[in-house]
């Protein structure tokens, strides 16, 4: 019979240094949003006097020179996670097990499904483990059988780890539905730009109007529907897809066919510079954990128009999410035409953004880690 686990929202607030912990973060696909969360979190924890390590897989999306992108106090451990074959998972599990026994972390934090599945076995019950799905695999597009298989895997991970560490309230609700977690905590993702009170960046240009979407062009981002939404704004504003265009992204042609310019791959600083010029950011995803790009838009005073999934509602609320393309198109055109509405939405976003700073995220996770270690003592 499924058990209802204990769930908790970790309150934000400064956490004293106390005794330093050894914290190991494990990431298979060290790129994109998960990379940025782990990078920021590891640095914040090191700043708080903790000993922090990051064990990661080298995947196509992994930035070159990872060590140089992390806080120099963070130890880095590349693992033989170069592909997603069974042999690669087995090799990564063995390497992680050896690292765990040698490095002796107090807590191991597993990020996303592959790290969760491999880490839950490799680390076992030797020490407390936290598993953060960053968007559950069974919510992704695919056949019913595929989603059912993912759900079975996620139930197994939740059963083996000490606690599921959700990054949003909606992710915590999905963890509870699985019915196998011993405990669930929620610590929302955060970014450094939202540590200070949110507001309009100084010197932000007022014109021209620009609508952007951004990221890899993949099924998660519903490129055909996103193209329809962007195309509906072309007579009122400039439109742009930031990123995308790689050889493994054939859906980028859907955007170009709809007349949407695509920048192609660009570095983080360049992508955020494009975002900072935008009036509206369209985030039309099919699934998500807690999207950093939405937080980055809010930090730059860019109005978010998003798909109606729970993770997006968690951040921007119900007013700015839409279940249909037509609904998003109509709202987008209203936003572009009405400066008063834009000012009203930005005021609401600034208030909501206060909960998503990096300092609050780090304090929340450190409180979780200390409670798990104390429970083992």
Q: What is the mean pLDDT of the chain?
A: 89
The Cα–Cα gap between 82 and 153 comes to 21
The Cα–Cα gap between 239 and 233 comes to 7
Best mean pLDDT range from 174-183, 198-207, 261-270 = 174-183
CATH topology assigned to domain 6-189+357-376: Rossmann fold (3.40.50)
204 — pLDDT class (breaks 50, 70, 90): low
Could you tell me if 302 and 275 are in contact, meaning their C-beta atoms sit under 8 angstroms apart?
yes
Q: Which two three-digit tokens encode residue 253?
A: 């042609």
If one counts every other C-beta atom within 10 angstroms of the C-beta of residue 329, the result is 18
Examine the pLDDT at 50 and tell me if it is beyond 60.
yes
What are the structural domain ranges in the chain? 6-189+357-376, 194-353
Query: CA angle at residue 34 from 32 to 40, to 5 degrees?
Result: 105
Examine the pLDDT at 14 and tell me if it is beyond 60.
no
Q: Phi/psi of residue 8, each to 5°?
A: -150, 145
Q: Do domains 6-189+357-376 and 194-353 have the same CATH topology?
A: yes
Q: Which two three-digit tokens encode residue 148?
A: 């059912």
* Cβ neighbours of residue 225 closer than 8 Å, sequence gap 6 or more: 284, 325
Which residues pair with residue 191 across a beta bridge? 357
32 — pLDDT class (breaks 50, 70, 90): confident
Q: CA neighbours within 13 Å on the CB side: how many for 282? A: 32
pLDDT tens, residue by residue, 298-347: 999 999 999 999 999 999 999 999 999 999 999 999 999 999 999 999 99
Is the domain covering 194-353 a CATH 3.20.20.210 domain?
no
Q: What is the mean pLDDT of residues 84-108?
A: 95
Q: What is the mean pLDDT of residues 249-275?
A: 88
Q: What is the mean pLDDT of residues 359-369?
A: 97
The Cα–Cα gap between 232 and 321 comes to 17
The Cα–Cα gap between 30 and 239 comes to 30
206 — pLDDT class (breaks 50, 70, 90): low
């Amino acid at each position: 019979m499924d058990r209802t686990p204990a769930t908790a929202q970790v309150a934000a607030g400064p956490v004293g240094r106390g005794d330093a912990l050894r914290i190991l973060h494990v990431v298979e696909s060290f790129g994109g949003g998960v990379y940025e969360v782990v990078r920021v979190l590891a640095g914040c924890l090191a700043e708080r006097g903790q000993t922090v390590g990051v064990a990661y897989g080298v995947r196509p999306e992994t930035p070159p020179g990872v060590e140089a992108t992390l806080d120099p106090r963070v130890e880095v451990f590349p693992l033989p996670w170069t592909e997603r074959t069974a042999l690669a998972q087995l090799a990564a599990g063995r390497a992680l097990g050896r690292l765990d026994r040698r490095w002796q972390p107090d807590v191991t934090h597993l990020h996303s499904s592959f790290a969760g599945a491999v880490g839950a076995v490799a680390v076992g019950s030797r020490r407390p483990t936290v598993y953060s799905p960053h968007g559950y695999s069974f919510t992704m597009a695919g056949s019913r059988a595929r989603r059912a298989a993912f759900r079975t895997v996620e139930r197994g991970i939740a059963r083996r780890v000490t606690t599921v560490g959700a990054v949003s309230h909606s992710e915590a609700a999905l963890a509870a539905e699985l019915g196998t977690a011993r405990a669930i905590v929620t610590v929302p993702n955060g970014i450094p730009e939202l540590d200070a009170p949110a507001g309009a960046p100084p010197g932000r240009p007022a014109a021209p109007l620009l609508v952007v979407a951004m990221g890899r062009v993949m099924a998660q981002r519903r490129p055909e529907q996103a193209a329809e939404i962007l195309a509906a704004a072309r007579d009122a504003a400039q439109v742009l897809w930031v990123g995308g265009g790689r050889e493994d992204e054939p859906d980028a042609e859907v955007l170009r066919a709809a007349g949407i310019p695509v920048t192609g791959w660009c570095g983080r600083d360049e992508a955020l510079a494009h975002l900072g010029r935008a009036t509206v950011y369209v985030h039309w995803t099919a699934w998500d954990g807690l999207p950093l790009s939405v937080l980055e838009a809010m930090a730059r005073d860019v109005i978010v128009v998003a798909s109606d999934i729970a993770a997006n509602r968690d951040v921007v609320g119900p007013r700015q999410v839409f279940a249909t393309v037509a609904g998003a198109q109509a709202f987008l055109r209203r936003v572009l035409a009405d400066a008063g509405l834009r000012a009203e939405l930005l005021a609401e976003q600034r208030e909501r953004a206060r909960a998503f700073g990096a300092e609050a995220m780090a304090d929340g996770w450190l409180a979780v880690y200390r409670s798990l270690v104390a429970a083992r003592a």
